């Protein structure tokens, strides 16, 4: 219902108007009556009516003066002038003060009804528009964090090069000064701190840090959370001298670090980029702040690092310590856990000492995982169950942000991998050596080598030789010789085979060498062995040794 105030010095007129209004069936409720201009002003201030029917000629303050005061205080109130004077000066004055209608007395009920209907429609339209605008403002206010986040992403990506568009957007967000310096704050050891917590616990911590930084800067900066545990802060300064801006940026970073430590009990590392006067270049400051923050990898936690603080960054290729890698891989293959961990520590120490970019270091670690996976397979691990290069493992490496985290993570990976390798090795060793023995038994008549047999069972020659001796109690050559000699013994029982023929059949090209090997193994020459068998001096075993 629209509220209406009747102002007329004649009571009978006021009553008549009220009756007409009640019969008009319009959504109007008469909230008060006044008999003079002064009373009308006081009542209007208290009731704030939507419509006023105002007579002009009244004692004391007239209707024109009262309408002026009311319109000044309540510009949305619709004032309808009622008068018995058809004078042009009154018409002009009524229009000037904002009257919506001007009616001459006596007014017909139909005319009043028509005017009220028209006025109600305008008021309803205006209120609907105001309500729509309020809803829009509320929606914008609710979406403001997302609008700000989108703007920050546009800034740090360098996607917009029109400074006028950027200026309009930061003014819309309530900033009076263009952002010129980027800071990136990162919660130290966030993964370790939240390892036992739920995802909700993680988000609560991030939100607390974000809200605290927003509280510190209010509307004087752009603060936006960015993935993982980072918060971006874009600051603007009236000062334009680079040295002074750098000093101010460091002070603001210290405010953040100290507040997070005192109020939340957390430590943060903050990277700071250079000052750029043109807002279109703020993405350069962000890239620098990110690079500076990553130097926590070498400098440790709870740091404030300006891009100018890190001139030591290595631009050239990293000199990878292959000598330590070879030692590590060999110790892994041999199952020497302690020596493997020592070799890993030395390898990482050498990589870290290069002060290379963290991404380069992680690329080196990834290459190490590839060769390490081959080593553990050679050492006895099951390839199907190997997790060194699965997605979870790579994601864990990506989340590491310091030397300590990488070393701790990689040591844990090595421990678990060697556990699996050693558990699988016992049964695997038996299968591998059995397969190798079968291959030797089938190919003893050729000039086979240790390298050939090792390749057959997918092991390095060195490791195969060591494993063979460990499992069988004698080396590869001894086993090959034994197989050949046993085969030669069987052939010597048949007088149709000469010693030269037998030597060739069992893999010896030189019959004299065969004879020497046979004598060393059996204690007699091949001919002596044949004679002893034929004369019954040597009893033959009932089984078949070479088939066992």
Are the beta carbons of 235 and 180 closer than 8 angstroms? yes
Are the beta carbons of 400 and 442 closer than 8 angstroms? no
The full length of the chain comes to 548
What pLDDT is attached to residue 544?
40
Are the beta carbons of 17 and 53 closer than 8 angstroms? yes
- Higher local confidence (pLDDT), 193 or 507: 507
| Residue among 323, 324, 299 nearest 309 (CA) | 299
Q: How much is the average pLDDT of 115-140?
A: 88
Q: Provide the 3-class DSSP secondary structure of residue 260.
A: helix
For the segment 39-60, what is each residue's pLDDT rounded down to a tens digit?
999 999 999 999 999 998 888 8
Rounded to 5 degrees, φ, ψ at 103 are -115, 140
Q: Provide the 3-class DSSP secondary structure of residue 224.
A: strand
Q: How much is the average pLDDT of 500-520?
A: 92
| Residue among 115, 147, 134, 104 nearest 28 (CA) | 115
Distance of alpha carbon 176 from alpha carbon 219, whole angstroms: 9
* Residue 219 banded pLDDT, cuts 50, 70, 90: confident
Which residues lie below 8 Å from residue 198, measured CB to CB, with a gap of 6+?
none
* Residue 118 banded pLDDT, cuts 50, 70, 90: very high
Q: How much is the average pLDDT of 525-531?
A: 91
Neighbours of 46 (CB within 10 A): 10
For the segment 329-365, what is each residue's pLDDT rounded down to a tens digit?
888 888 888 999 999 999 998 888 877 777 788 888 8
| Residue among 315, 426, 326 nearest 368 (CA) | 326
Cis amide linkage into residue 470, ω under 30° from 0: no
Instruction: Output b/e per residue, 520-533; b: 16+ Cβ within 10 A.
Output: ebbeeebebbbeeb
Name the helix (H) or strand (E) containing 206: helix 199-217
Rounded to 5 degrees, φ, ψ at 182 are -105, 140
For the segment 261-289, what is each residue's pLDDT rounded down to a tens digit?
999 999 999 999 999 988 889 899 998 99
Distance of alpha carbon 32 from alpha carbon 28, whole angstroms: 12
- Residue 426: half-sphere exposure toward Cβ, Cα within 13 Å: 4
Are the beta carbons of 378 and 319 closer than 8 angstroms? no
Measure the CA dihedral 365/369/371/373, to 10°.
170
Sign of CA dihedral 432, 435, 440, 443: negative
What pLDDT is attached to residue 540?
61
Q: How much is the average pLDDT of 430-437?
A: 87
For the segment 359-380, what is each residue's pLDDT rounded down to a tens digit?
788 888 888 888 888 888 777 6
What pLDDT is attached to residue 491?
92
Distance of alpha carbon 211 from alpha carbon 188, whole angstroms: 17
Instruction: DSSP for 275-335, please give it.
Output: --SSGGGHHHHHHHHHHHHHTHHHH-SS-EEEGGG-TT---S-----HHHHHHHHHHHHHT
* Residue 314 banded pLDDT, cuts 50, 70, 90: very low
Rounded to 5 degrees, φ, ψ at 405 are -65, -45
* Residue 384 banded pLDDT, cuts 50, 70, 90: low
* Residue 322 banded pLDDT, cuts 50, 70, 90: confident
Q: Quote the DSSP letter at residue 541.
A: P
Q: How much is the average pLDDT of 69-94?
A: 81
Instruction: Decide if pLDDT at 218 tops 60.
Output: yes
Q: Provide the 3-class DSSP secondary structure of residue 386.
A: coil
Instruction: Decide if pLDDT at 163 tops 90.
Output: no
Tell me the pLDDT of the chain averaged across its residues. 85
Lowest mean pLDDT among 198-207, 249-258, 451-460: 198-207
What pLDDT is attached to residue 546?
40
Strand partners, 234: 182, 222
Distance of alpha carbon 527 from alpha carbon 519, whole angstroms: 10
What pLDDT is attached to residue 17?
92
- Residue 476: half-sphere exposure toward Cβ, Cα within 13 Å: 20
Neighbours of 292 (CB within 10 A): 28
| Residue among 513, 493, 494, 495 nearest 503 (CA) | 513
Q: How much is the average pLDDT of 426-434?
A: 79
* Residue 385 banded pLDDT, cuts 50, 70, 90: low
State the angle between helix axes of 322-334 and 403-443 in degrees (0 to 180), rounded to the nearest 10.
Answer: 60
Instruction: Decide if pLDDT at 548 tops 50.
Output: no
Q: What is the C-alpha radius of gyration for the chain, rounded to an integer number of angstroms? A: 47
Q: Provide the 3-class DSSP secondary structure of residue 516.
A: helix
Instruction: Decide if pLDDT at 313 tops 70.
Output: no
Spatial strand order in the sheet of 51-55: 28-34, 2-7, 51-55, 78-83, 101-104
Distance of alpha carbon 345 from alpha carbon 343, whole angstroms: 5
For the segment 137-154, what is each residue's pLDDT rounded down to a tens digit?
787 777 777 888 888 888
What pLDDT is attached to residue 260?
93
Q: How much is the average pLDDT of 67-78?
A: 92
Residue 400: C-alpha distances to residues 59, 345, 362, 406 (Å): 86, 17, 9, 6
* Residue 318 banded pLDDT, cuts 50, 70, 90: low
Are the beta carbons of 478 and 496 closer than 8 angstroms? no
């Amino acid at each position: 219902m629209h509220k209406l105030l009747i102002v007329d010095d004649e009571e009978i007129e006021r009553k008549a108007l009220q009756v007409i209004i009640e019969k008009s069936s319009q959504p109007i409720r008469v909230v008060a009556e006044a008999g003079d201009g002064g009373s009308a002003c006081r009542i209007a201030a208290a009731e704030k009516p939507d419509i006023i029917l105002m007579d002009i000629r009244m004692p004391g303050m007239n209707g024109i003066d009262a309408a002026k005061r009311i319109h000044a205080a309540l510009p949305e109130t619709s004032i309808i002038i009622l008068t018995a004077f058809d004078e042009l000066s009154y018409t002009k004055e009524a229009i000037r003060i904002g009257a919506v209608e001007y009616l001459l007395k006596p007014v017909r009920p139909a005319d009043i009804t028509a005017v009220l209907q028209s006025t109600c429609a305008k008021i309803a339209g205006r209120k609907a528009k105001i309500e729509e605008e309020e809803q829009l403002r509320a929606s914008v206010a609710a979406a403001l964090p997302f609008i700000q986040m989108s703007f920050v992403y546009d800034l740090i990506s360098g996607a917009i090069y029109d400074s006028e568009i950027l200026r309009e957007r930061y003014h819309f967000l309530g900033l009076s000064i263009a952002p010129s310096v980027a800071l990136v704050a990162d919660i130290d050891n966030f993964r370790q701190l939240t390892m036992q917590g739920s995802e909700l616990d993680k988000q609560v911590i991030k939100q607390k840090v974000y809200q605290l930084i927003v509280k510190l800067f209010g509307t004087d900066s752009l603060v936006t959370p960015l993935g993982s545990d980072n918060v971006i802060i874009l600051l603007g300064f009236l000062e334009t001298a680079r040295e002074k801006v750098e000093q101010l940026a460091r002070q603001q970073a210290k405010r953040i670090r100290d507040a997070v430590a005192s109020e939340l009990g957390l430590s943060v590392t903050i990277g700071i980029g250079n000052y750029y006067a043109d807002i279109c270049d703020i993405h350069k400051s962000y890239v620098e702040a990110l690079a500076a923050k990553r130097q926590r990898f070498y400098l440790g936690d709870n740091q404030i690092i300006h891009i100018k603080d890190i001139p030591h960054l290595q631009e050239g290729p990293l000199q990878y310590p292959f000598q330590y890698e070879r030692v590590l891989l060999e110790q892994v293959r041999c199952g020497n856990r302690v020596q493997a961990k020592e070799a890993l520590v030395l390898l990482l120490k050498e990589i870290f000492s290069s002060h290379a970019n963290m991404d380069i270091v992680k690329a080196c670690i990834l290459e190490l995982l590839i060769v390490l996976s081959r080593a553990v397979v050679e050492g006895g691990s099951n390839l199907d169950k190997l997790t060194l290069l699965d997605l979870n493992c790579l994601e864990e490496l990506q989340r590491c942000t310091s030397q300590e985290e990488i070393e701790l993570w990689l040591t844990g990976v090595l421990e678990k991998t060697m556990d699996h390798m050693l558990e699988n090795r016992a049964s695997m060793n038996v299968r591998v050596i059995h397969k190798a023995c079968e291959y030797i038994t089938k190919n003893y008549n050729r000039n086979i080598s240790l390298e050939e047999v090792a390749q057959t069972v997918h092991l390095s020659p060195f490791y195969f030789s060591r494993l063979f001796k460990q499992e069988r109690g004698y080396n590869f050559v001894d086993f090959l010789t034994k197989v050949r000699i046993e085969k030669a013994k069987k052939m010597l029982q048949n007088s149709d085979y000469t010693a030269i023929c037998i030597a060739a059949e069992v893999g010896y090209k030189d019959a004299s060498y065969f004879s020497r090997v046979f004598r060393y193994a059996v204690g007699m020459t091949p001919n002596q062995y044949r004679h002893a068998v034929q004369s019954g001096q040597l009893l033959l075993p009932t089984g078949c040794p070479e088939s066992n």
